[in-house]
Amino acid sequence: MKEITLQTDLKALFDSQIKEKPVQLEGGKSFSEMLKNSIGEVNRLQEEADVAVKDLAAGKGKDIHETMIALEKASVSFQMMMQVRNKIIGAYEEIMRMQV
């Protein structure tokens, strides 16, 4: 009987801890804040690449090398974001398959 009470007390303690505190990473940022910032950075790189292509097409002094570098930065950052997304979805699916 004491074991059941202990498990119930631990469950209540864990539930209260989870509800009160968001998960914090080093530097004081939560995972969701870090994810939002990363997505914003990928979006910024995509916009810079778009502007670079438009400037090159309009002949505004951008050379092709700078434009290609901007395009590759945007491409690589987007590919990395997609891989992170795939890993997060894979982890979620694995957690959902766990038997309780």
Number of helical H runs and strand E runs in the chain:
3, 0
Using one digit for the tens of pLDDT, what is the confidence trace for 65-84?
999 999 999 999 999 999 99
Residue with tokens 């590919």: 79
Look at 3 and 32; give whichever has higher pLDDT: 32
Backbone torsions φ then ψ of 5, nearest 5 degrees: -65, -40
pTM of this structure: 0.65
Between CA 70 and CA 74 the distance in angstroms is: 6
Cβ neighbours for 71, distance < 8 A, ≥ 6 positions apart? 49, 52, 53
